[in-house]
Structure 1
Amino acid sequence: MMNLSFCLPLGSSQSRASSLEGMKGCRIITADSGGGMLDVLDRRPVVFGANDARVWLSDVSSEVADQLLQESALPVAEFTWFAVGRAVGNVRNEGAELIDPLG
């Protein structure tokens, strides 16, 4: 059985930039990448398992949210990092070749 993981959004946001009018997004909560992606970024998304994600999405106090972040976020060791090509960083690119192993 596959273990599901959930990246944590902080909340929704709406851009005030005229070129992006009407577009919405969210802020992603991040943590130190612990060297896993250091050559690209020093941050990684905070990820919870399904049960902790349900608690996060419920109406929790800031104290409970902080406790979840400190105690329940998946550690760096749970991640597997893969090198990707530059094309992955452009939202205009799509296709199965984007996930082909590098070199």
Structure 2
Amino acid sequence: MVLQDDDGKKARLAHWGLKTSATQPASLSTFNARSETASGSPLYRDAFRSRRALIPLSGIYEWIGGKGKRKPVGITRKDGRPVVCAGLWQELEGQLTCTILTTAPLGVFADVHDRQPLLLPQDRWGAWLDPATSVEDARNLMGASDLHRAMNVYAVDPAVGNVRNDSALLCEPFMPFSAIAG
């Protein structure tokens, strides 16, 4: 789901992976976009200019460890509120698509990956969604915040790695992160 401002704020279901043209190769990965370069990238520039989105998530999964030893972890807010990430959207041929912006990791994210979703504090949401916000002002909204301090990381059930497994229990802590971090 994305929250967008397209002639009024609204929440809509979207497909993951920004699709910017009908001829875009299926092999082009657009699930994530680097926040540092998105505003100037030919692939993301137009969406960055006027189709910014908020993407609320209950949590984030990452995998840690070397090949053959990878273990999944969950990252959620300590207070249980949704994680709200900066994103971009595009509607093409009746299909709404989106991507999450990523940035250098801070806090618990640095323990598990070399990138993290760009978390936006609530006081930046309105300006981020507003299509009238200039590209320069939108870039400034992407500055660091202390939201990484509100996050918790924990090991989750390895069954989360199989798409056939669909249960809310997969989000629950499986064991302390310290038990698998090495």
Query: Which is helix-richer, 1 or 2?
Result: 1
What is the SS of the residue equivalent to 1:98? Answer: helix
Counterpart of 1:46 (choices 118, 121, 128) is: 118
What is the SS of the residue equivalent to 1:54? Answer: helix
Q: Could you tell me which residue of structure 1 aligns to residue 169 of structure 2?
A: 97
- Is 1:55 the counterpart of 2:127 in the alignment? yes
Q: Could you tell me which residue of structure 2 aligns to residue 19 of structure 1?
A: none
Q: Could you tell me which residue of structure 2 aligns to residue 7 of structure 1?
A: 85
1:80–1:24 distance in 2 versus 1, CA, 3 Å: same
**Same amino acid, percent of matched pairs:** 32
Q: Could you tell me which residue of structure 2 aligns to residue 27 of structure 1?
A: 99
* CA distance in 1 between partners of 2:156 and 2:81 (Å): 23
Structure 2: gaps spanning 5 or more residues: 1-79, 176-182
> Under a length normalisation based on structure 1, what TM-score does the superposition of the two structures give?
0.66
Query: Which is strand-richer, 1 or 2?
Result: 2
What is the SS of the residue equivalent to 1:80? Answer: strand
- Answer whether contact 2:109 2:148 (CA < 8 A) is retained: no
> Under a length normalisation based on structure 2, what TM-score does the superposition of the two structures give?
0.42
Q: Could you tell me which residue of structure 2 aligns to residue 69 of structure 1?
A: 142
Count how many residue pairs are aligned between Structure 1 and Structure 2: 95
* CA distance in 1 between partners of 2:101 and 2:90 (Å): 12
* Dislocated runs of 4+, deviation >4 Å: 2-5
Structure 1: gaps spanning 5 or more residues: 15-21
Q: What is the root-mean-square deviation in Å for CA atoms of aligned residues?
A: 3.1
Counterpart of 1:87 (choices 159, 166, 181) is: 159
